[in-house]
Every structure is written in structure tokens, then in C-alpha cells.
Amino acid sequence: MNSTSHSLLDQVRRGPDGLAWQRWHALYEPLIVGWLRKHSLVPADRDDIVQDVLTVVVRRVPEFEHNGRVGAFRNWLKTITINCLREHWKQRDAPLRAAANKTLDDWADDRGSLSQLWDLEHDRHLVQKLLTLLQPEFANDTWQAFQRVVVAGEPAAEVAKRLGITLNAVYIAKSRVLTRLRQEAAGLVDDPQV
């Protein structure tokens, strides 16, 4: 059995694997950009902050320890993003800085509405992006069975009939894709919900 971790987080933490970092970047850069759009930044400032966040992640991810906490990586990334934004706002006028810090405080507070929205959007975004990245690993019938049963909520028996496969094949397809999704998402999304 191959003992190599399938978790993207583990691959990124191990070091300079270009493919793992490309996948991580493809997953997270749009999420970070989307959140920075909510903070009244001009595109050039937003791009600079994204680069600052990515630089900190690259430098510090080998030190990251999950410790089994729910949302540990998501919160770690949120904290880095907030700190990079705070640094940006330190250089602005006092009224702008005060308003930005109030928003960032809400985002940093785990019970705050922005923090809860970040958690939800993070997990939803990552699951959808990971599924897109994983799709080529599966045969068309396997993928279609998974999509119809898990994503569309169609009854398994109906999906089996439409695809011309056995009911058991539908359940196996669902299990295989979900297992692979959980492997890839380990440490990034605590319980990937589709």
C-alpha cells in the first residue's frame, strides 16, 4: 500500500512540491481575493495583500500543526489574512483605519457574523474546487453517479437505472468519490459537505 499522504495540506507542508503548491494556490487565491474585495481595496492593494498572505503561508505552513481542532487551518489562514489587512490599514488615515479595524475585529471573533460567513464560504469554496480538481480521476459513470446521488439528491435506484449500472455500483461510486474528497481535504476542511 502506498503510504504517501493524499492530503493537499500534508503535501504542501512537506516542502517545495510545485504541483501541490499550484493546487493550493488554485484553491485559495480566489477565496482570499473574494474576501479582500469586501474590504474597500483598490485592485493593486488587494493584489499586494494577496501576495503578502501567500508569502506568509509559504514561509509558515511547515510549522502549522492541526492538533485535531475543528477549522484549525481555516482559522490559521483567516488570522494571516486579517493580520496582512491590519498591516495595510495601519498606513491609512485614522478614520479609515478605525472603520477597517472594527470590521476586522468582527471577522477575527469566532462568534462574529463575518467569521461565521468566512467559515461557511471557505468550506463551500474548497469542496467545490476540490471536486473540480478530482473529477478527472474518475470514470464518467462513477462521476455521474456521484453527482446525481450526492449533489443533485436523486434516488440511487433511479440513478442506477438511468446510467445502466447496478445499485451497488452507484453506492461504490459515491463512496469512492467521497473517500477521495476526504483524503484531499484532510486538514483543510474538517467534514467536507457536498
Q: pLDDT (tens digit, 9 = 90+) per residue, 49-91?
A: 999 999 999 899 888 887 777 778 899 999 999 999 988 888 7
The C-alpha cell of 91 is what?
498606513
pLDDT of amino acid 80: 95
Residue pair 68/74 in contact by the 8 Å Cβ criterion: no
Report the predicted TM-score, pTM, of the whole model to 2 decimal places.
0.76
User: For residue 125, is it within any domain?
Assistant: yes
User: For residue 60, is it within any domain?
Assistant: yes
The count of structural domains within the chain is: 1
Nearest-angstrom CA–CA distance, 31 and 177? 23
pLDDT of amino acid 19: 85
User: For residue 142, is it within any domain?
Assistant: no
Write the DSSP symbol of residue 61.
G
User: For residue 102, is it within any domain?
Assistant: yes
pLDDT of amino acid 4: 37
Instruction: Mark the ranges of the chain whose per-residue pLDDT is less than 50.
Output: 1-5
pLDDT of amino acid 16: 65
Q: In degrees to the nearest 10, what's the CA dihedral of 143, 147, 72, 69?
A: -100
User: For residue 97, is it within any domain?
Assistant: yes
User: For residue 117, is it within any domain?
Assistant: yes
pLDDT of amino acid 3: 33
Domain region containing 85: 8-137
User: For residue 148, is it within any domain?
Assistant: no
